[in-house]
A and B are shown apart, each in its own frame.
Chain A
């Protein structure tokens, strides 16, 4: 067995047997200077691919379904466990349809732009280093919204052939990894960042997803008397 094979098998075995959750809170949240009572959850962008023996294949329909499920589950977990209410995102006005659509799309991509910087040093969220700026106000959210939730995710489902191959040779298991950022709706500061990961078929493992989400918001203070 070559050196690279040994290294990979060790890495993937370790990855396959654990669930990892990390969460980082802005100092304002920790110090209770800011409380997240009401949020607007923007459409999640979770993508899964099917890994077959002939390489990865797209799963567009399943990805859309999963995105919707994750989005709803995040709102549910925030509501049930943290007493945080979810407000609907503002519907685009008839005359400004395209402009509003572009606005949301551009703000979503602005988060994508910031994401690699956050991931580079996630712990800096605790120093309040990351912000998306006051452009967040251009989203024209409902007046009571305290924060905006961004959800990204990537996952992999294995075909039966690939699963069998993995059992024989080893390799990365099916998994889902989410990246969730909660951003202040008034000034764009990143208030919370968490990235739950779990192994298992991302399209069917509903309970694992819920548990992973519950764990990932553990540090977020619960809202009293909403």
Chain B
């Protein structure tokens, strides 16, 4: 009876609509909801086990792990995932960023450790949603969204240490074996199908879901609470061994708690123990174990070094966030970047973020962050296109006021970008787009032409030329 949950409610509904064009949809929806609720409720409750005490952490490696046929299949899928991520343009090609990740990762792996069928790889994934995950073959991925959100190397070490534990302790295999017995996958997969976001944010999820459904559940949606707790605590031990500030594990949890976009289904660290709970047990564990608290000055130095190394990744992530319509995150992250280094390119990204923010509020209100409001917003976002959403907001006085303010800020930052040392030509393109929206055709054409003059081989040259032609036609 659980099969319908795999196929996904949308598909069944589409088929039904085609089969019964004159039947009331609500009846069909109700029937489907009924089925899904009934088929999902049982096994999920099985997964909510009591958590283990925080005191002792297990040895780093799961000794005497014997690979079975099922485990080898999972391993093969993990290797295929690596290939797909690369082929589909999801792995960030930034040698310095990947080298940095490698250095931090390797410093955490215990020396002389050799694990069967594990080859360590540390890579940045082009995804604006903050997340990190490990594949059982030793590939550790940290998204650009998370790399941009964190403050320093110790926080990155905290994330990688957590993921390393999942690999060393063979959590994926353990979880897979357990789930195959429980049939839990069917229900979890149905939930993923129903709530996975689209676009850039959903790309990784889509690939993992289809290539390796079990890996999907374990690596991205979280293992059982016990395994997550083990990874957190073991991660702290590894940080201390590698001389990273262990308290930064707690600070990472706090950063992950930010909900800038009001996403009611926060996909990644969501199914781990609750963040509050994690902060609590990590602080407790740290209090008992830590023999040092890193001096704030040391952390500040680390922050500056981290921002310098990751600046290009952060810019890339801003671009992704803007493309994915995560304008609030983009403004927040661009402000951090400009505070660190207000060069022309960073100012340009802040301007772009404000231009994209348009009529939206820069921050969500308490009311908008309630669960029901977030659910409503998620439903609406499927019904409306981005342009329709903007039009609706612009029809309200508050939306209009936001739009005017953000366009002004955008113009101000574009100007600052152009007045800075080594001005980025793209700021002219940004101004052109801004003026086009403000119906200042002549100014827009001038800015576009300036952009093309300064960047004759720009990848969007054809697009801008077309815009110039259209504007000139309109101005005649």
Q: Which residues of A contact B (CB under 8 A)?
A: 3-5, 7-8, 11-12, 14-15, 18, 20, 22, 45, 47-49, 51, 54-58, 60-61, 63, 96, 98-106, 108-110, 112-117, 119-121, 129-131, 134-135, 137-138, 140, 154, 156, 171-172, 175, 177, 186, 195, 197
Contact = CB atoms under 8 A, between A and B. Distances in A.
Contacts of A140: 459, 462
A62 B80 CA distance: 12
Contacts of B203: 105, 109, 112
13 contacts: A3-B34, A4-B34, A7-B31, A7-B35, A8-B3, A11-B12, A22-B18, A47-B210, A55-B183, A57-B214, A113-B198, A134-B466, A156-B7
Contact of A12 (B3, B34, B383): B3
Contacts of A131: 385, 387
10 interchain residue pairs of minimum CB distance: A105-B89, A113-B199, A47-B210, A137-B463, A55-B185, A60-B80, A20-B18, A113-B198, A98-B93, A60-B211
Contact of B126 (A102, A112, A120, A177): A102
Interface in B299-323: 320, 323
Contacts of A4: 1, 34-35, 38-39
Contacts of B35: 4, 7-8
A155 to B, nearest CB: 10
A109 B12 contact: no
A154 B200 CA distance: 19
B211 A112 contact: no
B199 A58 contact: no
Contacts of A48: 210
Identify the interface centre among A14, A58, A114: most chain B CB within 10 Å of its CB.
A58
Nearest to A115: B198
Contacts of B4: 8, 11-12, 172
Contacts of A22: 18
Contacts of A96: 459
A186 B469 CA distance: 13
B460 A57 contact: no
Given A20-B19, A119-B10, A54 B180 contact: yes
Contacts of B214: 55, 57
Contacts of A47: 206, 209-211
Interface string B378-411: 0000111101000000000000000000000000
Contact of A60 (B77, B206, B467): B77
B84 interface: yes
A134 B11 CA distance: 30
Contacts of A129: 385
B211 A104 contact: no
B99 interface: no
A110 B386 CA distance: 12
Given A55-B179, A58-B213, A117-B383, A112 B73 contact: no
Contacts of B212: 58, 60
Contact of A137 (B12, B185, B460): B460
A154 B196 CA distance: 15
Given A15-B16, A134-B467, 9 more contacts: A55-B180, A56-B189, A57-B214, A58-B211, A58-B213, A60-B80, A114-B198, A115-B198, A117-B383
B90 interface: yes
Nearest to B187: A55
A135 B374 CA distance: 29
For this complex, into which size category does the number of interface residues on chain B fall? 35 or more
A197 B73 contact: no
Given A11-B31, A98-B93, A117-B385, A154 B1 contact: no
Contacts of A51: 3, 6
B15 A197 contact: yes
Nearest to B197: A113
Given A55-B186, A117-B383, A135-B463, A172 B7 contact: yes
Nearest to A5: B1
A56 B459 contact: no
B7 A20 contact: no
B287 interface: no
A172 B179 CA distance: 22
A1 to B, nearest CB: 10
B284 interface: no
Contacts of A5: 1
A156 B6 contact: yes
B1 A58 contact: no
B42 interface: no
A142 B144 CA distance: 32
Interface in B144-194: 179-180, 183, 185-186, 189
> Which interface residue of A47, A104, A106, A114 has the most chain B CB atoms within 10 A?
A106
A108 to B, nearest CB: 8
Contacts of B183: 54-55
B110 interface: no
Contacts of B459: 96, 99-100, 103, 138, 140
Nearest to B325: A113
A141 B34 CA distance: 47
B366 interface: no
A103 to B, nearest CB: 7
A203 to B, nearest CB: 14
